[in-house]
Structures are given as structure tokens and as C-alpha cells.
Amino acid sequence: MNFPRIPQASPGANYRACAGEIDAAIRRVLDSGIYLSGAETAAFEEEFARFIGVAHCVGSSSGTDALWLALAACRIGEGDEVITVSHTAVATVAAIELCRAMPVLVDIDPRSFTLDPEKLGAALSPKTRAVIPVHLYGQSADLEPIFKFCRQHDLRLIEDCAQAAGAFYRDQRVGSIGDAAAFSFYPTKNLAALGDCGAVVTNSPELTTEMRALREYGWRDARRLSAGPGRNARIDEIQAAILRVKLPRLDENNARRQEMAQAYSERLASIDEIVLPAEMKFRRSVFHQYVIRSRIRDALVQHLGDAGIGTTIHYPVPIHQQPAYARGLARSSPANQAEPLPETMSAAAEILSLPMFAELDLSQVEVVTATIRKFAGKK
């Protein structure tokens, strides 16, 4: 396989940008002899909670487990329904299933690719217990109407912030608005570890106590005494130490992504075949991905690939059409209707993620946009 000249994502570049400090942090953990549940985890949890603007953070083994911890701590389980979107990473829905609850999948707003609050009413049933808006591609969902809906119907609001670390909704960071919020630090994320891990943040001391027990075999008051259900869903010390090096750079890296996104949008503005990412009022994206829409998407992928430019289609198959999920959705799910989720379906056919990472430079954006312009017959 030939590696693209310009990759779509580059976890290696993100490591190299602070390699010396990361190597020293790893060495510090190795020398300490403590590899789990130590000082690095405690310090990262405190620093990340402060960064988001909440009282508590619980590190976890992945973003999927972070969602699971949040749902399980809210006592969501068999017989319950959880509303989320079909246009997301499969992990969002997998976490609902891990709790044995039923996913109810609703359509997205086509401009922001996030949960359309107008669709919540039709998805509500007596079994509904929670809503998970996904802040997809770096952009917050429209949280105010979702928050109101949840309060009105006594539902838990759990934010999926896996793709939006550092983003704001109005003047608050995403993750500080719901009852709890899950983050992933998968190596391509805006805040990236060098392996799998995640975290849940919340202002609730009760949920925090519950999640700390759930992530470690149900241990609550004493080690090796399981007071309730639980399993191993911990973050490890090396990943926590790496995240402590990267967290102080997150806002700067997100600003850099925004700068590159603006450069893309300026250079692609006049191409009829391409719809650019929408700028939403009060919720500026941190561009985990720069996602365009195009009816000529598949030809464009081929053309960019031939030119050595990496692209990805994030979510070519919506969750409600995945073999594992197509039959298992709650009966009330709008995804089960005759022509389900039209905006989700058309997004899946048109979306394309162009190269985007904090270390991308303007000359690479010039190459990508010139290649696209040439393909579209523009000078």
C-alpha cells in the first residue's frame, strides 16, 4: 500500500510536536513503578475537569467505556430507551447496547450533522430515559433545545464529546452542560493519547462515586470488596501522563485546525459541486474533521487518492443500516419507518473528510484545494 503524500490524519505528527516532553513523561511513569490508578491519573482528572469547567472527571479505558460508565451510573439498563443519532461512530450506539438499553435513532440537521432537536418529540416513549447528542466532527449539537426537552421529560442528557474536546456551546465548553459527558482520547482525536482511553466529566458527586466503582469491579469503600456491579474500565498511568503533556496545547491546536479550515473554505468557496461546512451561530467547530458534501464525492475520492491525498468517508453506512443494528432498534425508533432518516441517508452518500490535523500546513491545504479545483474545472 502506498502511503498518501498528505494523510487525512496524522497521530505521528501530533506526537512529534512534543516528543521530548512525552518521552520524559513516559519515562517518569516507568520509573515510578506505578502503572495504574496513581498520581498521573489523579492529576489528569483534576486538570481535565478544570479545563472543561466541571467539578469531576473519571478517566476510562476508552470513549466507548466512558459512554458506558455515564449510562450505567445513571442506572440505564434493560427495558430503557436512549435517543441518539444514526450518523455517528458505531461506539455511541454500542455503548447503549452494552447497558442492554434500546437505541432510538433520530435524524440530523443537514448543516451541522448533529441531532435535530425537532425530531426528539416523535422519538419519545414511556421507556425513554436519556438523550445522547453527539458533537460530531468538532461541532456542538444545538444543546439548548435538547437540554429543555430533557428537563421537560425528566431525561438524562449525556453528551458524546468524543470529537469535540475544547469546543464551546455559547460560552461554555461542551461537556459542561449535560448530566455527564464522555470523551475519547483515541490517537486521532483533538486531544489524543497514544493508545486507547477516555474520560467522563460531570458536576454530580453521586454519578462520580458510581462511575469510580463501575470502572473498577464495583469497588466502592474498600479494594477487593465489590459493593455492586462493575468491570475493568480504567485509564492507565502512561496515557494519563501523555494527556497531561497535550492538554495545555489543546486550545492552540484547535485554533490551528480552525485556521486551516478557514483556508480550505476560502479556497473552495466558488465550486458549485461542493458544499462547505456550515458556520453555526454560537457553536464554532474545533474541526475534528473538515467535512465537505458533494454529489460527485466518489469520483473526487478517486481523484484525490490518485494525487496522493488521503480522505475518509466518516460513516458511509448509517448505524440503522449496519447488519449488527438494523434489526435491533427500538420499535419507536424513527429509523424503523418506511423511509427512515432522509438527512442521515443523504449525508452518508455525500460526505467527505479532507486532511485535517493540527500540524497540517497551509502549503498542504493549497495542494489539496488546487487538486479539487482542477478536478472541478476551476483555475
Ligand X SMILES: Cc1ncc(COP(=O)(O)O)c(C=O)c1O
Q: Closest approach of Cβ 163 to ligand X, in Å?
A: 5
Asked whether position 63 contacts ligand X by CB under 6 A, the answer is yes
**Number of amino acids touching ligand X (CB under 6 A):** 15
Read off the C-alpha cell for 234: 480504567
Asked whether position 105 contacts ligand X by CB under 6 A, the answer is no
Q: End-to-end alpha-carbon separation of the chain, Å?
A: 31
Asked whether position 139 contacts ligand X by CB under 6 A, the answer is no
- Which secondary structure element, helix H or strand E, spans residue 292, and what is its range? strand 290-294
Asked whether position 208 contacts ligand X by CB under 6 A, the answer is no
3-state secondary structure of 352: strand
Binding range to ligand X, per CB under 6 A, among 160-168, 204-212, 276-284, 301-309: 160-168
b/e per residue 282-298 (b: at least 16 CB within 10 A): ebbbbbbbbbbbbeebe
**Cα separation of 58 and 296, whole Å?**
44
Asked whether position 236 contacts ligand X by CB under 6 A, the answer is no
Using CB under 6 A as the binding rule, the residues of this chain from 166 to 195 that contact ligand X are: 184, 186
Q: Closest approach of Cβ 358 to ligand X, in Å?
A: 17
Binding range to ligand X, per CB under 6 A, among 7-15, 39-47, 85-93, 291-299: 85-93
Binding range to ligand X, per CB under 6 A, among 6-14, 83-91, 243-251, 355-363: 83-91
**Binding-site member from 86, 92, 112, 239 for ligand X (CB under 6 A):** 92
Asked whether position 162 contacts ligand X by CB under 6 A, the answer is yes
3-state secondary structure of 366: helix
Binding range to ligand X, per CB under 6 A, among 35-43, 157-165, 249-257, 338-346: 157-165
Asked whether position 334 contacts ligand X by CB under 6 A, the answer is no
Q: Closest approach of Cβ 288 to ligand X, in Å?
A: 8
Asked whether position 140 contacts ligand X by CB under 6 A, the answer is no
**Cα separation of 97 and 84, whole Å?**
12
Left, alpha or beta for 201 (phi > 0: left; psi -120 to 50: alpha)?
beta
Whichever of 61 and 364 has its CB closer to ligand X, that residue is: 61
**Binding-site member from 91, 238, 292, 347 for ligand X (CB under 6 A):** 91
In degrees and rounded to multiples of 5, residue 269 shows phi and psi of -60, -35
**Binding-site member from 9, 58, 102, 134 for ligand X (CB under 6 A):** 134
| Helix-, strand-, coil-residue percentages of the chain, each rounded to 5 | 40, 15, 45
Binding range to ligand X, per CB under 6 A, among 60-68, 244-252, 268-276, 299-307: 60-68
**Binding-site member from 86, 88, 176, 332 for ligand X (CB under 6 A):** 88
81 to 91, 124, 207, 371: CA distances (angstroms): 16, 9, 20, 46
CA-CA-CA-CA torsion sign (59, 64, 70, 74): negative
Asked whether position 163 contacts ligand X by CB under 6 A, the answer is yes
Within the chain, residue ranges assigned H as helices are: 11-16, 19-32, 39-52, 63-73, 90-98, 120-123, 143-152, 205-214, 237-246, 250-268, 297-306, 342-350, 362-375
Report the residue number whose CB is nearest to ligand X.
63
Asked whether position 86 contacts ligand X by CB under 6 A, the answer is no
3-state secondary structure of 281: coil
- Which residues are registered as beta bridge partners of 148? none
Rule CB under 6 A: which residues touch ligand X? 62-64, 88-89, 91-92, 134, 160, 162-163, 184, 186, 196, 198
